[in-house]
């Protein structure tokens, strides 16, 4: 579990399209990241970056600009470079999930995730400043994601590990679950109804009610759901009278 999500900075190197800087800021904000470092961006600040940030302009306003990658990461104890392609010189590789896990380790207090230029990625010299290389698994014939999409995926994996809302999964119902005595009454009602409509033969019951119990045991009914089912059974009985 990451104790301090804010130990991570997103470093964009030599970004050419200001729109990508804005889109990256937006991707970061959705995933609770707020430290944007820009190394020699072609155009910044820019109206296009602000427009693409849609609501994440606070991250753009706080972004720090550096003349070199070395300066942007000088105070980091872990630097992770990202690359769309496998490099000719093998470097320790991690997936986005492994990256998130590594970042969560207590021994790291200040982590940089470094993204390259749209047309040429990171140079070999820049890669040499990185402890690890992260490659997002892709279609092997087309592996180059849009810069902001790559930022989004990596920040998402970090977000999943932080114990934020995402871990809670879908909102769970707080409605009362039906108690066993009510379920017994439901089974009796169901059996009676199935006999009434001649679906079930009380003299030759086979495994029908056993199967029905197994079915309903797989899903825990809420009280009002049980009431609805009882209401349906009553209506069926009323109609066939
Ligand atoms: N033609 C460039 C692609 C750059 S895409 C190249 O060959 O490297 C711009 C940036 O987005 C990359 O430098 C990297 O930081 C990120 N990126 C794009 N696709 C990625 C992938 N599959 N895995 C990791 N990072 C990726």
Instruction: Write the pLDDT tens digit of every residue in 174-232.
Output: 788 889 999 999 999 999 999 999 999 989 988 999 999 999 988 889 999 999 999 99
Instruction: Identify whether residues 193 and 75 lie together within a single domain.
Output: no
pLDDT value for 3: 47
Q: Is the CB of 186 under 6 A from ligand 1?
A: no
Query: Is the Cβ–Cβ distance between 131 and 92 less than 8 Å?
Result: yes
Instruction: Identify whether residues 160 and 212 lie together within a single domain.
Output: no
Poorest-confidence range of 25-34, 48-57, 87-96?
Answer: 87-96
Average pLDDT over residues 70-97: 90
Instruction: Identify whether residues 138 and 226 lie together within a single domain.
Output: no
CA distance 7 to 14: 23
Instruction: Identify whether residues 108 and 204 lie together within a single domain.
Output: no
Task: Answer whether residue 168 shows pLDDT above 70.
Answer: no
Task: Answer whether residue 55 shows pLDDT above 80.
Answer: yes
CA distance 96 to 82: 10
Greater confidence (239 vs 168) lies with 239
Instruction: Identify whether residues 152 and 196 lie together within a single domain.
Output: no
Instruction: Identify whether residues 79 and 144 lie together within a single domain.
Output: yes
Instruction: Identify whether residues 19 and 62 lie together within a single domain.
Output: yes
Which residues have a Cβ under 8 Å from the Cβ of 91 and sit 6 or more positions away?
81, 127, 130, 132, 133
Cα(116) to centroid of ligand 1, in Å? 6
Query: Is the Cβ–Cβ distance between 44 and 17 less than 8 Å?
Result: no
Whether residue 223 is contained in a domain is answered as: yes
Structural tokens at position 70: 């070395």
End-to-end Cα spacing for the chain: 62
Domain end residue (candidates: 168, 195, 225): 168
Q: Is the CB of 147 under 6 A from ligand 1?
A: yes
Average predicted confidence (pLDDT) for the chain = 92
Whether residue 174 is contained in a domain is answered as: no
What range does the domain containing 49 cover? 5-168
Q: What is the CATH number of the domain that holds 72?
A: 3.40.1280.10
Ligand 1, from 150, 152, 154, 157: best to mutate by most atoms within 8 Å of Cβ? 150
pTM of the entire structure?
0.75
Q: Is the CB of 150 under 6 A from ligand 1?
A: yes
* Of the candidates 70, 168, 197, 169, the residue with the CA atom closest to the CA atom of residue 126: 70
Q: How confident is the model at residue 61 (pLDDT cuts 50, 70, 90)?
A: very high
Average pLDDT over residues 4-20: 92
Whether residue 175 is contained in a domain is answered as: no
Q: What is the CATH number of the domain that holds 211?
A: 1.10.8.590
Ligand 1, from 19, 24, 84: best to mutate by most atoms within 8 Å of Cβ? 84
Beta bridge partners of 115: 12
Domain end residue (candidates: 139, 168, 197): 168
Instruction: Identify whether residues 109 and 202 lie together within a single domain.
Output: no
Whether residue 173 is contained in a domain is answered as: no
Report pLDDT digits (tens) over 108-149: 999 999 999 999 999 999 999 999 999 999 998 999 999 999
pLDDT value for 5: 54
Structural tokens at position 42: 């072609």
Greater confidence (158 vs 2) lies with 158
Poorest-confidence range of 48-52, 146-150, 161-165?
Answer: 161-165
Q: Is the CB of 85 under 6 A from ligand 1?
A: yes
pLDDT value for 2: 45
Q: How confident is the model at residue 51 (pLDDT cuts 50, 70, 90)?
A: very high
Instruction: Identify whether residues 191 and 97 lie together within a single domain.
Output: no
Instruction: Identify whether residues 49 and 130 lie together within a single domain.
Output: yes
Distance of CA 197 to the CA centre of its chain: 48
Q: Is the CB of 144 under 6 A from ligand 1?
A: yes
Number of domains in the chain: 2
Task: Answer whether residue 166 shows pLDDT above 50.
Answer: no
Domain end residue (candidates: 168, 197, 215): 168
Q: DSSP string of the chain? A: --S-GGGEEEEEES---HHHHHHHHHHHHHTT---EEEES-SS-S-HHHHHHHTT-HHHHHH-EEESSHHHHTTT-SEEEEE-SS--SS---EE-HHHHHHHHTSTT-SSEEEEE-BTTTB--HHHHTT-SEEE-----TT-----HHHHHHHHHHHHHHHTTSHHHH-SPPP-SPBPPHHHHHHHHHHHHHHHHHTTSS-TTS-TTHHHHHHHHHHHS--BHHHHHHHHHHHHHHHHHH-
Instruction: Identify whether residues 159 and 68 lie together within a single domain.
Output: yes
pLDDT value for 174: 79
């Amino acid at each position: 579990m990451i104790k301090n999500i804010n130990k991570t900075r997103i470093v964009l190197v030599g970004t050419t399209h200001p729109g990508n800087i804005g889109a990256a800021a937006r991707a970061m904000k959705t995933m609770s990241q707020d430290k944007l470092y820009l190394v020699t961006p072609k155009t910044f600040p820019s109206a296009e970056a602000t427009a693409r940030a849609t609501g994440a302009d606070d991250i753009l306003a706080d972004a720090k600009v550096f003349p070199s990658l070395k300066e942007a990461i000088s105070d980091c104890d872990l630097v992770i470079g990202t690359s769309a392609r496998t490099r000719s010189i093998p470097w320790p590789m991690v997936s986005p999930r492994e990256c998130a896990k590594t970042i969560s380790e207590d021994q790291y207090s200040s982590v940089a995730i470094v993204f390259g230029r749209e047309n040429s990625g990171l140079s070999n010299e820049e890669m040499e400043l990185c402890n690890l290389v992260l490659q997002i698994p892709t279609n092997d014939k087309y592996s180059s994601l849009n810069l902001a999409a790559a930022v989004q995926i990596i920040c998402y994996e970090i977000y999943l590990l932080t114990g934020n809302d995402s871990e809670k999964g879908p909102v769970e119902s707080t409605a009362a679950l039906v108690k066993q005595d009510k379920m017994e009454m439901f089974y009796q009602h169901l059996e009676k109804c199935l006999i009434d409509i001649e679906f079930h033969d009380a003299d030759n019951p086979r495994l029908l009610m056993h199967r029905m119990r197994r079915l309903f045991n797989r899903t825990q009914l809420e009280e009002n759901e049980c009431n609805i089912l009882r209401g349906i059974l009553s209506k069926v009985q009323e109609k066939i009278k």
